[in-house]
Chain A
Amino acid sequence: MAKKLIDLVNISKSFDKDLIIDDLTLSIKENSFVTLLGPSGCGKTTILRIIGGFTSPDKGQVFFDGEDITNLSPNKRQLNTVFQKYALFPNMNVADNIAFGLRVKKKSESYIKDKIKYALKLVNLDGYENRQIDALSGGQQQRIAIARAIVNEPKVLLLDEPLGALDLKLRQEMQYELIRLKNELGITFIYVTHDQEEALTMSDTIVVMNQGYIQQMGTPEEIYNEPENAFVATFIGDSNILPGKMIEDYLVEILGSKFKCIDSGFGKNKLVDVVIRPEDVELVEKDSEKAILKGVMTHSIFKGEMYEMECKSNDGFEWLVHSTILKEPGTEVGIYVEPKNIQIMNKPQSEDEKALDVEELDE
């Protein structure tokens, strides 16, 4: 069991009377890759800025390795940040950028030189010492920003949407680079993003946030397969969210039909939300014994690795279906879902209802 490195205790923060973070408590373990994931305005960057020391919380405390650092200025904290648009120093070349933190700490020039070489090798940019910053591509600037942070040997690296400005291909490459870096350095990464794919690919732990609240915290598998509420289910990947009723343990009624499931402990006739991922919806022959519901195909789009289709079941619900097998619009089909692919969630409690507002997700 790794020990706790950063503890946020009862943090609240508001800007101009807008409550950004409300009474948030979060522990981050040593050597983990933690991602704060949520739509813009959910408070994730604010949390990162509070950990980095660029903003102070209105209420609550920040502990680093057991020590209260709530009011410590950023230049005294043992962590480094990789900023959203890299924030390299345009008046210095690559080597001077990387050396900045070490020179401030009055390290010897020979030590600095070795460190620069080591860091550039680590980010695959050997020999770039004397380049000017504006002569580098976005991806290269990103790597320099990371090199500039890690030469200081921080215990924690904070990354604020570092891949946001890169194109898709480069972003995917950098994701693997970051995982490799994290393993080589053996330090804690706290990563902020609104991109659920990035979060799922890289993290050990994902903290899903919305409107200043933590919606769910868990491994990527837990977050994807067992979302705790409708917000998490919608935000992480596509999903069909249906109202349902737990008839009894292991049996749920959806759209008037009974489905077997693997959840229990909700009580009898309890109203619940049901999440079914589009790739888990199986389309079978309409007369098949497996068919639980019947419907007719309405749309299909070819997406490369699969078809994205819509199927309207007889009760009027539009199912989103991902499959490699095309069913032409107009085809009548049966719908079946494996019990293990049915995820039952409690209805949101009234006090959290605002936090679960899914309509904020347009971006």
Chain B
Amino acid sequence: MKNKKIINKILIAPYTIWMIGFIVIPLLFIIYYGFTTKRGDFTFNNVVDFFSLIHLKSFYLAIRLSLLSTIICVVLSYPLALIFREGNFSKKSFIIYVFILPMWMNSLLRIFAWLTLLEKKGVINLILSFFKLPNINIINTDAAIIFGMVYNFLPFMILPIYNSVMKIDENTINAALDLGASKVTTFFKIILPLSVPGMVSGITMVFIPALTTIVISKILGGGQVLLIGNVIEQEFIESSNWHLGSGLSIILILFIFITMALTSKYYDKEGGNFL
């Protein structure tokens, strides 16, 4: 018994050291910086500054774009999951892998690929010009960022929804039909409610990274679109104001915690560990 405990402690040590060094201590630093001035005095100003008009604007924009992207991801993923459930494909898992294949590529590369596609003289416009069609001009706009977010985070939506829809027992659906329900009723009364946990974990896994993204908005927004993540980054790197950056981060982290707490009751009881 005693030996086992010692072995457990040894085994858990590397991760504990990692966690303290790279998660706990940095977090403590953020809290320290967030509540102090440059001279080291205690202050609430950095945190309260989150609610200034200019910062709220970036925050609102970030929420708007990430919400839109999340909705688009749901709309793209759900029918796919249903088709997979109904259909008789022999290579279901292979097709799913094709959908999540982009996830195995570096995300920066993928975002730059979108840049090449959407640029004023990018691939899409070259093709449009070739067919004498009017060019599109969406680079450096909200639309480009949404494209980037959807493309980047779609696999994180597909997988949990696919899993929760596939997990519904065939006979549960047959039972609804057997009791006289039409296919539409069966969808709304049985399939949709039973896939809520998958949808919720998909939504959190798309919405939160999209909300806090820096890279997508920087590359596809060309510095024209400032999301809350970009604002924080600027404070840290360009203005070297770690105190304000930390203060904003604290509120953002709190916001994320609250969102997760609100959605946690819909989570899959089995944890939805699919990745």
Interface set of A (CB-CB < 8 Å, partner B): 52-54, 73-76, 80-81, 83-85, 87-91, 100-101, 104-105, 148-149, 152
Are A80 and B171 CB-contacts (below 8 A) given A90-B194, A91-B190? Answer: no
* CA gap between A50 and B190 in the complex, in Å: 23
Let me know if B171 and A104 touch, CB within 8 A.
Answer: no
Chain A residues near B194 (CB-CB < 8 A): 90-91
Chain A residues near B177 (CB-CB < 8 A): 53-54, 73-75
Number of A-B contacts (CB under 8 A): 63
B264 contacts the other chain (CB 8 A): no
Chain A residues near B182 (CB-CB < 8 A): 75
Q: Could you say which of B175, B181, B185, B193 contacts A87, with CB atoms under 8 Å apart?
A: B175
* CA gap between A26 and B189 in the complex, in Å: 36
- Jot down 30 A-B pairs with beta carbons below 8 A, ordered by A: A52-B174, A52-B178, A54-B177, A54-B178, A74-B178, A75-B181, A80-B179, A81-B174, A81-B178, A83-B171, A84-B171, A85-B171, A87-B169, A87-B171, A87-B174, A88-B172, A89-B175, A89-B176, A89-B190, A90-B194, A91-B194, A100-B176, A100-B179, A100-B181, A101-B179, A101-B180, A104-B185, A148-B175, A149-B178, A152-B180
Chain A residues near B190 (CB-CB < 8 A): 89, 91
Produce 1/0 per residue, B234-257, CB < 8 A to A.
000000000000000000000000
Let me know if B193 and A91 touch, CB within 8 A.
Answer: yes
Chain B residues near A89 (CB-CB < 8 A): 172, 175-176, 189-190
Let me know if B179 and A104 touch, CB within 8 A.
Answer: yes
6 more A-B contacts (CB under 8 A) besides A87-B169, A101-B179?
A: A53-B177, A81-B174, A87-B174, A89-B175, A100-B176, A105-B180
* CA gap between A81 and B193 in the complex, in Å: 22
Chain A residue nearest in CB terms to B185: A104
Produce 1/0 per residue, B179-214, CB < 8 A to A.
111100100011001100000000000000000000
Chain A residues near B179 (CB-CB < 8 A): 75, 80, 100-101, 104, 148-149, 152
Chain B residues near A53 (CB-CB < 8 A): 177
Chain A residues near B172 (CB-CB < 8 A): 87-90
* CA gap between A101 and B176 in the complex, in Å: 8
User: Within the complex, what minimum Cβ distance (angstroms) separates B147 from chain A?
Assistant: 35
Let me know if A85 and B178 touch, CB within 8 A.
Answer: no
Q: Could you say which of A80, A90, A91 contacts B178, with CB atoms under 8 Å apart?
A: A80
* CA gap between A85 and B172 in the complex, in Å: 9
* CA gap between A148 and B189 in the complex, in Å: 16
* CA gap between A89 and B193 in the complex, in Å: 10
User: Within the complex, what minimum Cβ distance (angstroms) separates A60 from chain B?
Assistant: 21
Are A83 and B174 CB-contacts (below 8 A) given A90-B194, A91-B194? Answer: yes
Let me know if B180 and A54 touch, CB within 8 A.
Answer: no
- Which 3 residue pairs are nearest across A and B when measured between Cβ atoms? A101-B179, A87-B171, A87-B175
Chain A residue nearest in CB terms to B178: A81
* CA gap between A100 and B173 in the complex, in Å: 12
User: Within the complex, what minimum Cβ distance (angstroms) separates B233 from chain A?
Assistant: 43
Let me know if A81 and B175 touch, CB within 8 A.
Answer: yes
Chain B residue nearest in CB terms to A91: B193
Are A75 and B193 CB-contacts (below 8 A) given A81-B175, A89-B172? Answer: no
Chain A residues near B174 (CB-CB < 8 A): 52, 54, 74, 81, 83, 87
User: Within the complex, what minimum Cβ distance (angstroms) separates B194 from chain A?
Assistant: 6
* CA gap between A85 and B174 in the complex, in Å: 12
> Which of B171, B180, B193 has the most A CB atoms < 10 Å from its CB?
B180
Chain A residue nearest in CB terms to B173: A87
* CA gap between A105 and B182 in the complex, in Å: 11
Chain B residues near A76 (CB-CB < 8 A): 180
Let me know if B175 and A104 touch, CB within 8 A.
Answer: no
* CA gap between A87 and B176 in the complex, in Å: 9
Let me know if B178 and A75 touch, CB within 8 A.
Answer: yes
> Which of B177, B178, B181, B193 has the most A CB atoms < 10 Å from its CB?
B178
Chain B residue nearest in CB terms to A160: B171
Chain B residue nearest in CB terms to A84: B171
User: Within the complex, what minimum Cβ distance (angstroms) separates A72 from chain B?
Assistant: 12
Chain B residues near A75 (CB-CB < 8 A): 177-182
Which of chain B's residues 128-183 have a Cβ closer than 8 Å to chain A? 169, 171-172, 174-182
Chain B residues near A83 (CB-CB < 8 A): 171, 174-175
Are A104 and B180 CB-contacts (below 8 A) given A83-B174, A89-B190? Answer: yes
Let me know if B178 and A104 touch, CB within 8 A.
Answer: no
* CA gap between A88 and B193 in the complex, in Å: 14
Chain B residue nearest in CB terms to A49: B174
* CA gap between A100 and B190 in the complex, in Å: 11
* CA gap between A137 and B181 in the complex, in Å: 27
Chain B residue nearest in CB terms to A54: B174
* CA gap between A252 and B181 in the complex, in Å: 60
User: Within the complex, what minimum Cβ distance (angstroms) separates A18 from chain B?
Assistant: 16
User: Within the complex, what minimum Cβ distance (angstroms) separates B149 from chain A?
Assistant: 31
Let me know if B181 and A104 touch, CB within 8 A.
Answer: yes
Chain A residues near B189 (CB-CB < 8 A): 89, 100
User: Within the complex, what minimum Cβ distance (angstroms) separates A235 from chain B?
Assistant: 26
User: Within the complex, what minimum Cβ distance (angstroms) separates B254 from chain A?
Assistant: 32
Which of chain B's residues 43-81 have a Cβ closer than 8 Å to chain A? none
Chain B residue nearest in CB terms to A52: B178
* CA gap between A80 and B181 in the complex, in Å: 12
* CA gap between A25 and B237 in the complex, in Å: 81
Chain A residues near B180 (CB-CB < 8 A): 75-76, 101, 104-105, 152
* CA gap between A85 and B177 in the complex, in Å: 16
Chain B residues near A52 (CB-CB < 8 A): 174, 178
* CA gap between A343 and B91 in the complex, in Å: 53
User: Within the complex, what minimum Cβ distance (angstroms) separates A95 from chain B?
Assistant: 14
Chain A residues near B181 (CB-CB < 8 A): 75, 100-101, 104
